[in-house]
Amino acid sequence: MGRMEELVALLNKYAKEYYEQDNPTVSDAEYDALYDELVMLEQFGGLVLPDSPTRRVGGKPNEGFKQVKHKERLYSLDKTKTVEGVGEWMEKLGKDAPVALTLEYKYDGLTLNLSYENGRLVRACTRGDGEVGEEVTEQVKTIKNVPLTIPFKGEIDVSGEGLMPLSSLEKYNLDAKVPLKNARNGVAGAIRNLDVAETARRGLSFFAYNVGFHKGIEFRYQHEVHEFLKEQGFNVGEYFKVVSDFEEVKTLLAEAEEKRPTLDFLIDGMVFKADSFALREMLGFTEKFPRWALAFKFKAEELSTLVKEVVWQVSRTGKLNPLAILDPVDIGGATVSRATLSNISEIRRKGIRIGDRVFVRRSGDVIPEITGVAERMPDAKEVEKPAVCPVCGSPVVEKGVFLFCSNNENCAPKIISKLEHFCSKDGMDIDGLSEKTIEQFYNEFGLKSADELFTLTKEDLLALEGFKEKKAENVVAGIQKAKTTTLAKFLTALGVPNVGKKAAKMLEQTFGSLEKLMAASVDDVASIEDFGLITASSVVDFFAAEENRVLIEKLLANGVTFLKEEKRDGVFSGKTVVITGTLSSYKRSAAQEEIRARGGNVADSVSKQVDLVVVGEDAGSKLEKAKKLGIEIIDEAAFLELLKQ
């Protein structure tokens, strides 16, 4: 029994690091060996512990949750690690006069979005990717300070952080068969647990800090939101300030960092928001962040350890990435045994050698990095630049500071990495397909192309080692579910060169369909804001390549379809509209919803594909670009007339 409990604890820890922190501390081979040993012990003894990873698909604790689209996108925050960075941001916001800012703790837990209708909690979701989250209503109902009813009778979404208080963690671990390593994993594992009783046992708490979608009430300031949440019975924490003076801000940040170890919950920084909603509307958003908010991150924890070895991994693009293998060290509650090294030039610049003692920093979910050399050892060896690919032995090609495998088609890590990227959360988001599972498919089935994933059957998977009935069913279900996706996720999954998540979303907004995008010219794509000729050429060349067109045809033939927003008839039917500047009658988000309600499509950037640009006060470069492209331009008065039709 002792060995089984030890294995379950180890494997659950490694799974959490892999799936929740994106920070694996053991190799796939080490994980597989431990997993196989546990399977053998379970089969031999006829006993499976309740928290055994063999009960899960790939250790990922979110199996079985319904995907829910948020009514309003939940943005992450832009970050700075320096007080000077805060000062520069404040200066940017208050060019003419100091701007009132709210200051709150940056809680280190799991973001949750609670929906209330007619005074009742009707749904709770995780943040997910900001647009789509997982419904976890029953789990959240076990959190004692989450109000099940509130006085406000309209529709409202309340965002906040699910936390496991440190006192709850200590109490839980007193008699836990598998002690939790830290409170952050404690809350994530609790909310993403299908066993609601286990969620309740964790003794979680909820801190509310924002209102998203709302009907039946209007807010002008963040401090009004804070007071409203308090009045509705939400826990808003004890720390909330309105500040505008940088000297005061510096003092408050220093005090908060000093107080951090005394709190009963984890915080990893402080959050600033413009108090005025009118200012927020004017500042708007980037693709990732609101321009009116900033997170100040506390100093990352840093320790020193020995570099045991440097290995070169082959990515999906064929690039050889150096990875330092370290003497394991515990940093911030996670065991760190590997650290990223960008390229041979960085290794030489930092003077990193095998055998030296180095400083290693780990900050949140970021992969640990070596920041410098702590101690030079007399027997340390220089890191050698490989002449051939470490996997297939093909010659290495140098492109600037990077090294690439010259074998474009048949180098196994390239194929496996491409497939892993295709299945990733930002791509097709296929549950249960970890790198080691895809490697298994490659080795056992000779699977090399993404479309072949959609032909796998339960019977195929049952023939593989480690696949039992439930696991095989779940993986096949995950693959089938992923067939319905968005165009942006599909483009990200395909790995179109120079097209990341943001660019893929802009392509989806601009062209609306895969057919239109595949028929686009370089000029069509280059006309999108922030798209240059290089990116535009990459997109057009990708779709011109025969092998890519064949792959897309096969994927569509295997049932891949795209989610489309429900189209309504109206004055904007069939038109793509951009709003620039500030409207006096509507917030931009509300005006965009009016356009969608009348059959229109809304884009954030001006391009040849845009049919109409609505211009408000202080319009900038988008207006100039619209004039240059000859797009129809109307002012706010004309826009309001169209809304009456």
C-alpha span between 494 and 542 (Å, rounded): 10
Helix (H) or strand (E) holding 301: strand 301-314
The 3-state DSSP class for residue 633 equals: strand
Which backbone phi and psi does 152 adopt, to 5 degrees?
Answer: -70, 130
Residue 249 near residue 86 (C-beta atoms within 8 A): yes
Q: Which of 545, 547, 487 is nearest to 517 (CA)?
A: 487
C-alpha span between 200 and 402 (Å, rounded): 50
Going 139 to 145 to 150 to 152, the CA torsion angle's sign is negative
Annotated catalytic residue: which of 13, 60, 106, 273?
106
Sequence-ordered strand ranges (E) for 153-300:
155-163, 205-215, 241-243, 267-274, 293-297
Residue 293 near residue 82 (C-beta atoms within 8 A): no
Which backbone phi and psi does 590 adopt, to 5 degrees?
Answer: -70, -40
Which backbone phi and psi does 621 adopt, to 5 degrees?
Answer: -65, -30
Half-sphere exposure of 284 (CA within 13 A, CB side): 14
C-alpha span between 256 and 264 (Å, rounded): 14
Q: Say which amino acid occupies 614.
A: V
C-alpha span between 339 and 368 (Å, rounded): 5
Helix-, strand-, coil-residue percentages of the chain, each rounded to 5? 40, 25, 40
Helix (H) or strand (E) holding 577: strand 576-580
Residue 106: active-site member? yes
3-state SS string for 306-370: EEEEEEEEECCCCEEEEEEEEEEEEECCEEEEEEECCCHHHHHHHCCCECCEEEEEECCCCCCEE
Q: Which of 320, 331, 329, 335 is nearest to 383 (CA)?
A: 320
Q: Which of 353, 428, 13, 44 is nearest to 182 (CA)?
A: 13
Enter the tokens of residue 475.
Answer: 């993986």
Tell me the H-state helices in 194-271: 196-201, 222-231, 246-259
Helix (H) or strand (E) holding 101: strand 101-107
Going 323 to 498 to 345 to 317, the CA torsion angle's sign is positive
C-alpha span between 580 and 614 (Å, rounded): 6
C-alpha span between 111 and 636 (Å, rounded): 37
Q: Are strands 402-405 and 396-399 parallel, antiparallel or unpaired?
A: antiparallel
- The residue assigned the tokens 């070169």 is 312
CA angle 148, 149, 155 (to 5 degrees): 110
Going 613 to 511 to 567 to 602, the CA torsion angle's sign is negative
Which backbone phi and psi does 58 adopt, to 5 degrees?
Answer: 60, 15
Positions marked catalytic: 106
